[in-house]
Structure 1
């Protein structure tokens, strides 16, 4: 059974290895006494031995004493820390004969330094381990908060999508019912178009992104379904130019604008008309919907505007600072223009 190691852990281990490799080998390769192999071997061994003791103190304090002891019993922590200083000093003392300290040309006769001066490097590396542990904890807190924020964002988006889909289905079914009274022969092709739309909603809207080709096809199917319903009663136009069909966008992001246009741009209106345009290249998407409306008309149902409010919120969440939404209503027409940067 293989244990999967996270890439972040591998990167952290490599950084630690590189750090200690530099600490150990930079003093070795920069010394002037590397000519004789026996002398170089023993002096190099002394440097490696000393830095291995410092590394042991660093990781003992950062990964064992601080998280497991200091946070529970501060007195026991300082006692164990003092004990680790004594143990590592004894290791350095008793291994010193096997790894003589290096002597450089021109140095005075060797005189062993006071052994307990090693306490100062140990104190320094202990302070470094404190700083490392604190920074590591802060990064973990930041990453955890980011994960929580992302989870909240995903949950909010899923909720917004679940609101849009039933609202959309409700309006389409109403359209099919109305068509069955006005033109029964057109019900069959209408249901075929409806099944195509439902297939899109069931299998595509669960994806994080859909291609612009899928988005255009979906809009076209919806508009054709409405044309079957209204026939010549409403002047409907749809023009599109997709230069980068492989580019992706959030599902169910544009349809609420078209849905609202058909909801408020039909009915008791003289010469109703709806125009939809869609243009996209590899960087930007431009989308506009324009419909004639009745200025004295009240909302057709209590849920009016649910789709529009949700799509505004989704734009704020998914394209912060990367979209422009312009909505204007004059005496004759209701105009929506959206421009956003494609990811």
Structure 2
């Protein structure tokens, strides 16, 4: 259904409801007069705001003119409503019912002016709320489009250097007929399948993200047989639960890339994934040697994750980064039932 048809249906339903209310309290003619004045002034106030006042004055920060124009709309609506009431049967009949004298009440009196301005005020308020809601929706759509573009960019940034090293390691294994070579090729294939195709979906089973983390770790260990201090603990997690893809994997990649796992005998990376009845918990901690080196790709990855969380899990997540005592830690909590 087109927007104008939806709006027409809403205004008709509103007018019928308003007429039923007034007709129940008064008489048919009075109800018609009230509905005509109320809805007429509200239509003018609402569409003047949505088409002219809000986009051309409020949005352009011309607040003085915005207030002035709405004051004019309120006064106009009050006068029209006040004058229309003088033509109801009650107003046209004198106290004794002997003549049709008009009991005129000045529309410029303060109390009736305020009371009769309420229909227009309500329309202006609703127009403002809807305008702000539409602005937020448009802004969120732009952010989501940018996030999707940045997510694709992030995938591309994650893969090339890692792929180059992994392929070299696999080549070394296969050239020496090491049986680990075939397994490494299969692991790389699964990781690529998830990175290229799994991330096209808005949500994936958490089992796929965990499997991708496990595959990434296994391929990373191909660099050096001495790399053993990578700990992944997964406990009490419903693996069928859906989560946005590539939220945890980039954090693990950053930990492996920026930590001192390969430089020191005490370097480590510890990853835990667990859950309770309401929340999913993820933590990734790594040691590092000072001075800590962080490149722009890592920064983009973290910012991308934070922005995606804000849009996909608004008010239903907690993301925290701490760095102290040569330890870098990232924790993520997601409300699994509210998401």
TM exceeds 0.5? Answer: yes
Contact 2:166 2:222 in 1 (8 A): no
2:328 and 2:115 mapped to 1: Cα distance?
A: 69
Question: Aligned partners of 1:65, 1:292: CA distance in 2, in Å?
Answer: 62
Matched, 1:260 2:251: no
- Give me the whole-angstrom Cα distance separating, in 1, the residues matched to 2:196 and 2:29: 65
Describe how 1:7-86 pairs up with structure 2 within 5 A.
Answer: 13-27=12-26, 47-63=27-43
- Indicate the residue corresponding to 1:168 in structure 2: 158
Distance 1:188 1:200 in 2: 19
Q: Is the 8 A contact 1:234 1:272 kept in 2?
A: no
Counterparts of 1:6 and 1:227 in 2: how far apart (Å)?
Answer: 61
Q: Map Cα deviations across residues 288-341 of structure 1 (whole Å, 9 max, x no partner).
A: 223444x2576486645442344345445655584141423435x544433343
How far is 1:253 from its partner?
1.2
Compared with structure 1, are the counterparts of its residues 198 and 5 closer, same or farther at alpha carbon in structure 2 (3 Å cutoff)? Answer: farther
Paired residue secondary structure (1:20): helix
Deviation at 1:124, TM superposition (A): 8.7
- Residue number among 293, 318, 327 corresponding to 1:323 in the alignment: 318
Q: Deviations over 1:227-273 (max 9, x none)?
A: 45544543333221244334333321111221122223443332554
SS at match of 1:205: helix
Residues 324, 339 of structure 1: 8 Å contact kept? yes
Q: Secondary structure at the match of 1:240?
A: strand
> Is 1:142 aligned with 2:129?
no
**Equivalent residues of 1:57, 1:126 under 8 A apart:** no
Task: Select 1:286's aligned residue among 256, 265, 281.
Answer: 281
User: Are the structure 2 counterparts of residues 320 and 143 from structure 1 closer, same or farther at C-alpha, using a change threshold of 3 Å?
Assistant: closer
Q: In the TM superposition, what are the counterparts of 1:1-343 in structure 2 within 5 Å?
A: 13-27=12-26, 47-63=27-43, 89=87, 110-115=97-102, 117=104, 127-184=117-174, 185=178, 186-263=180-257, 264-270=259-265, 272-293=267-288, 295=289, 299=293, 303-315=297-309, 318-319=313-314, 322-331=317-326, 333-342=327-336, 343=339
Q: Distance in 2 between matches of 1:278 and 1:252?
A: 15
Rounded Cα–Cα distance in structure 1 between residues aligned with 2:296 and 2:40: 66
TM-score (norm 2): 0.68
- Over the aligned positions, Cα root-mean-square deviation in angstroms equals 4.3
Q: CA deviation at 1:50?
A: 1.9
Larger Rg: 1
CA distance in structure 2 between the aligned counterparts of 1:265 and 1:6, rounded to whole angstroms = 63
Q: Is the 8 A contact 1:240 1:277 kept in 2?
A: yes
Inter-CA distance 190–319: structure 2 relative to 1 (3 Å threshold):
farther
Q: Distance in 1 between matches of 2:193 and 2:210?
A: 15
Specify every segment of 5 or more residues in structure 2 that has no aligned partner in the other structure, as ranges: 54-71
| Alpha carbons of structure 1 residues 119 and 16: separation in structure 2 relative to 1, 3 Å | farther
| Alpha-carbon separation, structure 1, partners of 2:291 and 2:226 | 22
Q: Secondary structure at the match of 1:112?
A: coil
**Structure 1 position 169, deviation (Å):** 1.0
Tell me the distance in 2 between the aligned counterparts of 1:48 and 1:56.
12
Q: How many angstroms apart in 1 are the aligned matches of 2:4 and 2:241?
A: 33
Partner-residue secondary structure (3-state), 2:323? strand
Q: 1:10 to 1:189 in 2, by over 3 A?
A: farther
**TM-score, with normalisation over the residues of structure 1?**
0.67
Distance 1:8 1:201 in 2: 43
